[in-house]
Structure 1
Amino acid sequence: MKKSLLIMCLVLTLCGCSKPIPRERVDYIGYWQGVNMELYIHPDGAVSYVRQDGNTSKSINASIQEFEGDDFIVGFGFFNTRFAVTQAPQEIDGQYQMVVDGVLLIKRM
């Protein structure tokens, strides 16, 4: 019981450690959707991510630790995931698009 409480406190503490998205990266903010993938980047740096692959799914709810080039790294401490951005957010035909981990994402809001 004490161990579960300690883990829950640690998770809540780490979730509160997000940094706002830098001004030069505001185009990343929003709800992005693609084939079998959803990515929500909040202005405060929090990220919600879900990706389906057949019968399996992967989800992440954590904060952006840093940007490296166009890529961004999400997680806490040594537990992190790099999101490889091969096309940074840009407006094409009236809608914002970006390519993350090989998936074309469209900004929905």
Structure 2
Amino acid sequence: MKLTKLLVLLTLMGSLISCGKPVPPDKASYVGEWQSKTMYLLITQDGSVRYKRLKAGATTSVEGPLKGFTGHDFEVGVGPMATTFVVAKPPYQDGNDWKMVVDEVELVRTAN
């Protein structure tokens, strides 16, 4: 009986972790794959986020559900285990390229 309860709990936790908020229509321009030489950011329409950054010889990565937006910034994670990404310049078009500035890094959208 204990094993059954454990399996139910693990399944519920997995479901909660994978549940992100979909990107709202007014933030649709954030959806896509964004890159620079030192940063990778993927935001999907369903609210999944994947981030990887190389800074000062160390790699930081975050993978989780989108919790929501506050102004241009967005938060990723579950409960108190969350990270806020500071967006100094929201997505904008520069010639043929789409760019945005996240955590002081200029990113170029490489795929939608």
* Count of aligned pairs: 107
Q: Which amino acid aligns with 1:94?
A: N
Which aligned pairs between 1:68-87 and structure 2 lie closer than 5 A? Answer: 68-87=70-89
After superposition, the CA RMSD in angstroms is 2.0
Gaps of 5+ in 2: none
With the length of structure 1 as denominator, give the TM-score of the two structures.
0.88
Distance 1:6 1:59 in 2: 29
Distance 2:51 2:66 in 1: 12
Is 1:57 equivalent to 2:59 in the alignment? yes
Asked if the contact 1:35–1:103 (Cα under 8 Å) also holds between the matched residues in 2, the reply is no
The structure whose Rg is larger is 2
- Alignment identity in percent? 35
Distance 1:35 1:7 in 2: 40
Distance 1:6 1:37 in 2: 37
Which aligned pairs between 1:1-109 and structure 2 lie closer than 5 A? Answer: 9=11, 12-109=14-111
Gaps of 5+ in 1: none
Q: Which amino acid aligns with 1:69?
A: G
Distance 1:65 1:7 in 2: 22
Runs (4+) of structure 1 exceeding 3 A deviation are 5-11
Structure 1 stretch 95-104 or stretch 15-24: which is displaced more?
Answer: 15-24
